[in-house]
Amino acid sequence: ETGVTQTPRHLVMGMTNKKSLKCEQHLGHNAMYWYKQSAKKPLELMFVYSLEERVENNSVPSRFSPECPNSSHLFLHLHTLQPEDSALYLCASSQEGTGANVLTFGAGSRLTVL
């Protein structure tokens, strides 16, 4: 496996379900990100784990809960979502503290909330 891997690629869930999105990076990077991409909107940064510190966008609802057990793995736990949470969720990683901090993205997890 190389690069950034996201699973599942597609997820359909009801509003009462609990599910998780998984991201794994094989690049040795020290920062990982969750972005949300809704139709016709810019990418929205949800969470950053950088050098073991979590930074979050204060507008993200508490029904989204991130977990970063180590520098290679990132999860997004989903609970009692709303239909407007349907979107493409993108994971990225980068190497902070270097001269060229380049974002590398996974292929995304497309979420549909019924």
Partner 1 sequence: GIQVEQSPPDLILQEGANSTLRCNFSDSVNNLQWFHQNPWGQLINLFYIPSGTKQNGRLSATTVATERYSLLYISSSQTTDSGVYFCAVADSWGKFQFGAGTQVVVTP
Return the range that interacts with partner 1 (CB under 8 A); candidates 11-19, 21-29, 36-44, 73-81: 36-44
110 binds partner 1 (CB under 8 A): yes
Q: Can you give the length of the chain in residues?
A: 114
Minimum CB separation of residue 81 from partner 1 in Å reads 19
Under rule CB under 8 A, residue 52 binds partner 1: no
Q: Is 91 in the site for partner 1 (CB under 8 A)?
A: no
CA distance linking residue 10 with residue 107, whole number of Å: 11
In whole angstroms, the minimum distance from the beta carbon of 42 to partner 1 comes to 5
Which amino acid, 52? E
What is the three-class DSSP state of 18?
strand
Q: Show Cβ contacts of residue 105 under 8 Å, excluding neighbours closer than 6 positions.
A: 4, 90, 91, 92
The answer to whether the CB of 11 falls within 8 A of the CB of 112 is yes
Q: Is 102 in the site for partner 1 (CB under 8 A)?
A: yes
95 near partner 1, rule: CB under 8 A: no
User: Please, are residues 50 and 75 in contact by the beta-carbon 8 Å criterion?
Assistant: no
Q: Is 38 in the site for partner 1 (CB under 8 A)?
A: no
Binding residues for partner 1, per CB under 8 A? 33, 37, 41-43, 45, 48, 50, 55, 88, 90, 92, 96, 100-105, 107-108, 110
